[in-house]
Structure 1
């Protein structure tokens, strides 16, 4: 479930606590969490609804002034869902990303995990190197160079992000401080 930057700002301030999405099947569940740039969202409830049932209070809680605005942002197909959530805290990956003091055990654990990610086809070193070359390297650029689908590349970078090695920018990716420390540990002369 993605949010626009302006909505994320309002989620952080506690102004937006609802979302509406059209899906064939929900991508979140009540009791679950969702990591966003605003922090971790706790999903309180998810229920089927229709546009006619959306109240003025719901529109306001979702950050909309009118049903027409909401309708314009929705996909044309799928069941409409009302998702209630609250900000549960900071994204734990944030602290991880900013930890650039890696000891030998952490480096060894990262190498072991990346080796597992590389099965059956090695990609982690290449992707980390491409991102290290230039902040803002996009998934499309990397996917083309690797000869894989963009969506598959995004999933792969998501794995690196979960380890605290990369972070998303408005466009593209960059290495986090932790990512720079890890890459430097592989190539100390850099």
Structure 2
């Protein structure tokens, strides 16, 4: 579920508590969590609604000045059903603290290396995690498209899979590109020692 930055800011501030989306199937579920660039959102409810049932107050709670403005935005998108998502801000992205932690125990290092091995084993490109981490270390803030050319990988595949490294606290997004986190540097060194 993509959320525009100004809407995310409103959610963090507690001003926006609703979102509306047109989907064939919902991409979030009640009780779930959504990690965004500004923190974690809790999903309180996901309901199918009609455009007619939306009130002006709900439109304002979703960050739009009026129901008409909300419906104009929704009409730009495809989807069989209209969903109302109730949500709240839960807190900072836990990956931020994780990636800054460079004190990784031997047990934790072994567990992360095993996860990286499993990611590599399922990849159509074969072992890629160590290669990509090394490339990011040598070329911080390189655009994903340029990195994909250097590594002979599909750009969209690469962007999607770098998120797996980010979820482990090993990389972080920059503008443009990525950088290896302090935690990522420690794990890359462990990866190299392993062979």
Q: TM-score, normalised by structure 1?
A: 0.85
2:121 alignment counterpart: 119
Equivalent residue number for residue 92 of structure 2: 90
1:144 aligns to 2:149 (yes or no): yes
Mapping 1:23-38, distance limit 5 Å? 23-38=23-38
Backbone CA RMSD of aligned residues: 2.3
Unaligned 5+ residue runs, structure 1? Answer: none
Unaligned stretches of 5+ residues in structure 2: none
Structure 2 distance, partners of 1:51, 1:171, is: 38
Tell me the alpha carbon deviations over residues 72-105 of structure 1, each in whole angstroms, 9 at most, x when there is no partner.
5434311221111111233222221111122333
Instruction: Show the counterpart of 1:5.
Output: 5
Alpha-carbon spacing, 1:155–1:10, altered in 2? closer, same or farther (3 Å)? same
1:51-91 CA distance string (max 9 Å, x none): 33321111111111133433454343112211111112332
Partner of 2:108: 106
| Deviation larger for 165-174 or 152-161 | 165-174
Match of 1:168 in 2: 173
Alignment length (residue pairs): 188
Structure 1 residue 186 displacement after superposition? 4.8
What's the TM-score once normalised by structure 2's chain length?
0.83
Per-residue CA shift, 1:15-73, capped at 9, x if unaligned?
Answer: 11111111111100111111112222111111122333321111111111133433454
